[in-house]
Amino acid sequence: MLLLTVICCGNELVLQLADYRLIGSTRLRGLVYDYGAFWPGLLSDWTPNYTAQPTLMFLTYGLLHGGLAHLAVNMITLWSLGGPVVERVGARGFGLVYAGAQAGGGAVFALLAQPFPPMVGASGALFGLAGALLAWNYVDRFTRREGLWPVANATFWLVMLNLVLWWAMGGQLAWETHLGGFIAGWIMALLVDPRAQGRAEDAEDTP
């Protein structure tokens, strides 16, 4: 979590300095987005700027942001959701869930986004952390024969949050990335945490 924060904040700091003409060129942000943002067209017939770009963009897009407000919201969310994930599965497990969610977010964005705008931000991975926490909560509550309403309620409010943000941002919200990240995070959570897998199997065997 600390490493992700340092990288994301460092990248945005450099771009902010360039935006205000304190270092380099004001065109630096656009250039960095050209090379590091997620461009769905690169998965079809677009010509990449370098050979590995169609693969590496699944990593680099989550390390870039669209400004200080975007960065601040995502970093606060990272530390809010990341702590419980690390507590449950450790740093390695957190990394696997985070990386899987980020990749899943990019994949669903590429599949559903029309037209093909560039996309940056860690929110796909962050929705994956939320998906992971809800997945574990679901399995634990199901196994203990507790009500699942809290899980459904939290999922409902995540959907409503996306709708409100999409409206407030005039449709300029990568909800496809959030959806993909959430689904991938849910799946990764059940793969990474043996306790969740064991509980799920036990629950399936219950008559």
- Looking at residue 134, what is its pLDDT? 96
Catalytic residue among 44, 65, 80, 123, which?
A: 123
- Looking at residue 164, what is its pLDDT? 93
Could you report the per-residue pLDDT of 19-35, keeping only the tens digit for each? 999 998 999 999 999 99
Q: Note if 123 is an active site residue.
A: yes
Could you report the per-residue pLDDT of 55-86, keeping only the tens digit for each? 999 999 999 999 999 999 999 999 999 999 99
- Looking at residue 197, what is its pLDDT? 42
Show contacts of 133-142: CB within 8 Å, 24+ apart: 133/81, 133/84, 133/85, 133/189, 134/186, 135/185, 135/186, 135/187, 135/189, 135/190, 135/196, 136/88, 136/189, 136/193, 136/196, 139/190, 139/196, 139/199, 139/200, 139/203, 140/196, 140/199, 142/199, 142/203
Q: Note if 178 is an active site residue.
A: yes
Catalytic residue among 44, 65, 80, 178, which?
A: 178
Could you report the per-residue pLDDT of 75-121, keeping only the tens digit for each? 999 999 999 999 999 999 999 999 999 999 999 999 998 777 889 99
- Looking at residue 194, what is its pLDDT? 58
* Average model confidence (pLDDT) across the chain: 91
